């Protein structure tokens, strides 16, 4: 079955960077785009960006432009999200999610989430 | 950016009740809206896409509709497993945005 398994929780100091991985299985990785969505404690969901797993094209929310990098390793069926210059407001659960058509931008399968805590 | 609002923010209901959640957009668009269910400590789960298409495996008591800039999620007969928070998401234009959520709890 379709699975997206994310890397474990991270604790980072302000100003540092974090890299979260999303390993997929149960389907052909390059056929479906991967998006990243985050959720601060007690808050709603916030879309961050996506990557075409077929050709590596990507698009980011302007809010994170300059701080976010999304990449993929097709040989490992894994997508990555790196966020730099972390601040306390970046403390959140980070999710990867699959676009079921690579053209629709809604999400039919999600990773379990990676908690990133930014604290000095 | 398209801002999404949801009403109510909290809804208290009993098993068997018909429940309706409304999502409104700050700009007009049609079709490109999804609904998700999220339980505490879990990732969201897709219920509805393209405003009214039921995701495979989702019970038929869930349905979606649209009218102008207003989108509705209806649960025809609330079941114990349905107590959760529900989010709408527009994917009409970048950046994709979510509503603030509607928490459905036990009356």
Give the integer Cα–Cα distance in Å for A95 and A110: 7
**CB neighbour burial string for A51-60, b if at least 16 within 10 angstroms, e if fewer:** bbbeeeebbb
pLDDT at residue B104 in the model:
98
pLDDT at residue B5 in the model:
98
Name the residue among A46, A47, A106 with its Cβ closest to that of B46.
A106
Q: Is A104 exposed, middle or buried (0-12, 13-18, 19+ CB in 10 A)?
A: middle
Distance from CA of A63 to the nearest CA of B (A): 9
B56 and B48 in contact (C-beta within 8 Å)? no
Q: Over the Cα atoms of chain A, what is R_g?
A: 13
What is the full per-residue pLDDT of chain B (107 aa) written as tens digits? Answer: 999 999 999 999 999 999 999 999 999 998 999 999 999 999 999 999 999 999 999 999 999 999 988 999 999 999 999 999 999 999 999 999 999 999 999 88
Contact check, Cβ <8 Å, A45/B44: yes
Give the integer Cα–Cα distance in Å for A15 and A13: 6
Query: Which of B31, B94, B96 should we substitute to test contact with A (largest number of A Cβ atoms within 10 Å)?
Result: B96
């Amino acid at each position: 079955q379709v699975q997206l398994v994310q890397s474990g929780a991270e604790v980072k100091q302000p100003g540092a960077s974090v890299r979260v991985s999303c390993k997929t299985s149960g389907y052909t990785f390059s056929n479906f785009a991967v998006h990243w969505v985050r959720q601060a404690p007690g808050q709603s969901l916030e879309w961050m960006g996506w990557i075409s797993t077929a050709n590596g094209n990507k698009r980011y929310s302007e809010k994170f432009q300059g701080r976010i990098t999304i990449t993929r390793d097709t040989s490992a069926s894994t997508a990555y999200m790196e966020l730099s210059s972390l601040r306390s407001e970046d403390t959140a659960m980070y999710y990867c999610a699959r676009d079921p058509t690579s053209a629709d931008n809604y999400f039919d399968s999600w990773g379990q989430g990676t908690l990133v805590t930014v604290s000095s | 950016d398209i801002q999404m609002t949801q009403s109510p923010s909290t809804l208290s209901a009993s098993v068997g009740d018909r429940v309706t959640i409304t999502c409104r957009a700050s700009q007009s668009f049609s079709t490109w809206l999804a609904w998700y269910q999220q339980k505490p400590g879990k990732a969201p789960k897709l219920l509805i896409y393209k405003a009214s298409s039921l995701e495979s495996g989702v019970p038929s008591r869930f349905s979606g509709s649209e009218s102008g800039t207003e989108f509705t999620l209806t649960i025809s007969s609330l079941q114990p497993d349905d107590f959760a928070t529900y989010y709408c998401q527009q994917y009409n234009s970048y950046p994709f945005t979510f509503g603030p959520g509607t928490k459905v709890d036990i009356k």
